[in-house]
Structures are given as structure tokens and as C-alpha cells.
Amino acid sequence: MVSKERPKIQYRYKVKDQKGKIKIGRALAFDAASVRKLLEDKGYSIVAVVEQKKGLKKFSFGKVSAKDRSIMYREISTMLKAGVGITQAVDITAETPNKRLRAVMREVYTSLENGFPLSVAMSGHPKIFPEVEIGVIRAGEATGNLSKVLDDLSETTARSAEFTSKVRGAMIYPAFILVVMIIVGFIILTRVIPPIKDIFDSTESALPLSTQLLLAFTDFLITGWYWLIAGVVVVIVAGRFFFRTRSGRETASWLALNAPVFGALTRQVYLARFNRTLSLLIRAGVPIIESVEIIAESTTNTIFRRALSGLRSSLEQGSAISTTLQRNRYFPRLMTQLLFVGQQSGDLGGSASTLAEYFESEVDAKLRTFSALIEPFIIVLLGGAVAFIIISVLQPIYNLTGQF
């Protein structure tokens, strides 16, 4: 009887060579442990190894929030402090209500069994675990202080989630009111105005300009609504394509930082995240140059990414942290000076943490002011739209009654 040979599996890997250069490739092997041995024999430092999925396995559903990750980090840290091994801790943590996280942690557990460290096992899932968090875990493994690092990571992730939730929550109310206004306006213009239009047409009298505009827009919504929908779809699709280009990303980044009202808020959100992440990485033991590199790679705004890349280059040349940042108008003098003091005193993590709290409080204050001002603005806007409709309808009616 001939035994059937076990098929080889294709793996994707990401490694660093002896010069620190990143290399990405694929390898065929019976298991991940074989891939690890192959790469280590070549002298590579493994960053990530993940099985190449095929067919429907490529697609994964569900979402893993920052809150889910925060709870997971806290649970693993607690078990490590109790003397539980990392592999067993991950196995226990995998029993989570979140189905997506459960499946991912099962794969992380398999990688740990194959001899990979936790940071490498998590690196195979970049859509779940951000590079910043993996860098912190890698530093914790290197210093032998993983449980403390996971505690700090859990706290920082939870605070970041709360901070992001505040920013998003402040935008939900005006967005909801705007949607309601559009729906109500559409119903009024397509259901209430047409019968009134028939009355005006039967009188054959001259109509005020506001009434003519209102009736013309009503006709367009009734007879040419598909053009409106087509126009919206074209704008959305064209916008998505444009903002995927280099010039589009540059435009979006500039608008995010310089838009009226929201530009200052966005800048402070970025500064709060930068300092919070820098503090976490530095306290975990990540060198400052590597910390800045990790933050730059995780930053979506191209203007900030360019500034951080310049900061990394100047740090490599031995310059102070403030030398590069103070040349960029998006980094306030207060921040550059405090970071410089922190770098000189050996407490850069503490200075970054102080700055993060400062910018978070500034954002919180701006959001409260925004929430207080947006309500009367919406009331005025809604009142203006209602007044325009009422005047446009009643004015010709009064003109008609005045003729008799």
C-alpha cells in the first residue's frame, strides 16, 4: 500500500537581512516550522510568516475593534503574570466571543507552536494588529518584560479607542440631522409641492423668482432623479479613483490639515496620536529611530509621513528631535521644545505622554465647542430651508387673493 505524501503548503514571509533590508517572498514547505528553519539557516531575521490562503479562505468577515484588542492584551498579560506560558495564554485567550478574533488567535497559536515568537505570529495579520502594536510586543520580547508591555499596550489601545470614539461621536449628530433634512426635503418637494404646482399652473399668473426656482427643482427631482443619482455615483467613483493616486493622497492630506474649522482639529488629533504612540514605543524599549519609523509607516497622512521620515533621517545623523520638527509648521513650538527636553533628560517617553494628554484635552475641548455650536447652526439652516419653501408657496397665493 502506497502512502499518500502530504502536500506542501505555500507560505508568504517577510524578513530582514543582515543589513536590515526588508525582503518579502514565498516558500513551499510542509509546515511553518520548516519555513522558520529555512529562513533562520539563511541568516534572516523573521518579521512575519503566514500561510497563503486559497479560494474562499482568502476572505474573512467580521471586525476586530481596538477595544477587543485591548481586552485580549490585558488577558494575556494577566496570565503571564500568573506564570502561564505564552502559548497556553494565547490558546485560552482565543476563546473570545468575537469570531474574527477567535479565528486569528487560533492561527497565532499555531504559529507559536511552530516556534515563532508572539510578534512574528501577529505580524502575519496586519489587518488585525497594527504595526505599532507589533513593534511594542517585539520590544517587550527583546527586553523580557512582555507582561508589563502588554499592560501598557492594553491601556494605550483602550485610551486610543475612547479618543477615536469621541471624535467620531461628535460627527454623528450633524451627519444624522443632515440625512434627515435631505429625506424630509425630498418628500416635501416630490409629494407636497406638485399638487400646489398644478394650482399655480391653472391660474396662469406670473410667479415670483423663488417660487419658480422651487418648482423647477421639484420638476427636476420628479422627472430627472436618475440624473441626480448618476451624478452622485460618478462623483463618488471619480473621487475614490482620484484619492488613490499620489496627487489625490497629497490633496486629501492637505485638505485634512488645512480645511476651515476642521483643519486645526485634525492636526491636533494627529499630534495626540503621534505622541501617545511615541510614548508607548519608547517606554517599551523601542529605540527612538525605530519608533519614529514605525509611526511613519502607520501614518496615512502623506504630509505627516514625510515630516516623520525627515525626522528619522536627522536622528540617524545625530540631530536633536526638535531640529527637523520645528521647520514644519504643523508641529507647534511647545511640542518640539518638550520633546527636546525629554530627549536631553532621558525621559522622552514621559514628555511624549504629557504632550499626548495635552493634545487630547485640546481636542476634547474643541469637540465640546463644536457640539455646542453645531446645534444652533443646524437649527438656523433648517429654519432657512423651511422659510424659503413657505415663502415660495405663500407669496403667489397672497398675490392671487389680492387680485379678487
Domain count, the chain: 3
Separation CA 372–CA 315 (nearest Å):
43
Task: Give the pLDDT score at 57.
Answer: 52
Residues 361-389: what's their mean pLDDT?
83
User: Among 11-15, 168-172, 321-325, 363-367, which range has the highest average pLDDT?
Assistant: 363-367
pLDDT at 95 over 60: yes
Within a domain: 3? no
Query: Cell numbers of 200, please?
Result: 399655480
Residues 106-112: what's their mean pLDDT?
88
Task: Give the pLDDT score at 310.
Answer: 86
Render the burial of 54-65: b for 16+ CB within 10 Å, e for the rest: eeeeeeeeeebe
Task: Give the pLDDT score at 287.
Answer: 87
Task: Give the pLDDT score at 1.
Answer: 41
Q: Do 48 and 149 fall within a single domain? A: no
Torsion of CA 256, 357, 340, 317, to 10 degrees: -50
* 183-194 confidence digits (pLDDT tens): 888 888 888 888
H/E element holding 16? strand 9-16
pLDDT at 2 over 50: no
Q: Do 401 and 317 fall within a single domain? A: yes
Separation CA 129–CA 303 (nearest Å):
24
Render the burial of 164-200: b for 16+ CB within 10 Å, e for the rest: eeebeebeeeeeebeeeeeeebeeebeeebeebbeeb
DSSP track, 119-160: HHHHHT-TTTS-HHHHHHHHHHHHHT-HHHHHHHHHHHHHHH
Backbone angle region of 365, left / alpha / beta, with phi > 0 → left and psi within -120 to 50 → alpha: alpha
Task: Give the pLDDT score at 235.
Answer: 92
Share of the chain above pLDDT 70, in %: 94
Separation CA 272–CA 157 (nearest Å):
13
pLDDT at 53 over 70: no
Residues 398-403: what's their mean pLDDT?
67
Render the burial of 1-38: b for 16+ CB within 10 Å, e for the rest: eeeeeeeebebbbbbeeeeeeeeeeebebeebebbbeb
* CB-count burial class (<10 Å; 0-12, 13-18, 19+) for 244: exposed
Within a domain: 181? yes
Of the pLDDT bands very low, low, confident and very high (cuts 50, 70, 90), residue 78 is very high
- The pTM of this model reads 0.74
Separation CA 29–CA 56 (nearest Å):
22
CATH of the domain at 296: 1.20.81.30
Within a domain: 383? yes
Residues 295-300: what's their mean pLDDT?
84
Task: Give the pLDDT score at 234.
Answer: 94
The parent domain of residue 259 ranges over 144-404
Separation CA 48–CA 140 (nearest Å):
17
Query: Cell numbers of 145, please?
Result: 518584560
Q: Do 107 and 162 fall within a single domain? A: no
Q: Which of 13-22, 253-262, 268-277, 382-391 has the lowest mean pLDDT?
A: 13-22
Q: Do 233 and 338 fall within a single domain? A: yes
Task: Round the average pLDDT of the chain to a whole number and report it.
Answer: 83
Residues 262-269: what's their mean pLDDT?
87
Task: Give the pLDDT score at 77.
Answer: 92
Q: Which of 357, 301, 360, 375 is nearest to 166 (CA)?
A: 360
Task: Give the pLDDT score at 6.
Answer: 63
Separation CA 295–CA 135 (nearest Å):
10
Q: Do 236 and 265 fall within a single domain? A: yes
375 within 8 A of 170, measured Cβ to Cβ: no
Task: Give the pLDDT score at 79.
Answer: 92
Of the pLDDT bands very low, low, confident and very high (cuts 50, 70, 90), residue 5 is low
Separation CA 88–CA 90 (nearest Å):
5
CB within 8 A of 269, min separation 6: which ones?
167, 359, 363
Neighbours of 107 (CB within 10 A): 18
Query: Cell numbers of 202, please?
Result: 391653472
Q: Do 32 and 172 fall within a single domain? A: no
Residues 56-70: what's their mean pLDDT?
73
Query: Cell numbers of 33, please?
Result: 516550522
Residues 105-116: what's their mean pLDDT?
87
Within a domain: 380? yes
Query: Cell numbers of 98, please?
Result: 468575537
Residues 238-258: what's their mean pLDDT?
89
Q: Do 207 and 319 fall within a single domain? A: yes
Of the pLDDT bands very low, low, confident and very high (cuts 50, 70, 90), residue 201 is confident
Residues 379-402: what's their mean pLDDT?
81
Share of the chain above pLDDT 90, in %: 6
Which of 83, 106, 129 is at the close of a domain?
129
Q: What's the full length of the chain, in residues?
A: 404
Q: Do 330 and 210 fall within a single domain? A: yes
Residues 169-182: what's their mean pLDDT?
81
Q: Do 113 and 181 fall within a single domain? A: no
Q: Do 118 and 194 fall within a single domain? A: no
pLDDT at 3 over 50: no
Q: Do 125 and 153 fall within a single domain? A: no
Distance from CA of residue 246 to its chain's centroid? Answer: 19
Q: Which of 34-38, 48-52, 357-361, 394-398 has the lowest mean pLDDT?
A: 48-52
Q: Do 28 and 173 fall within a single domain? A: no
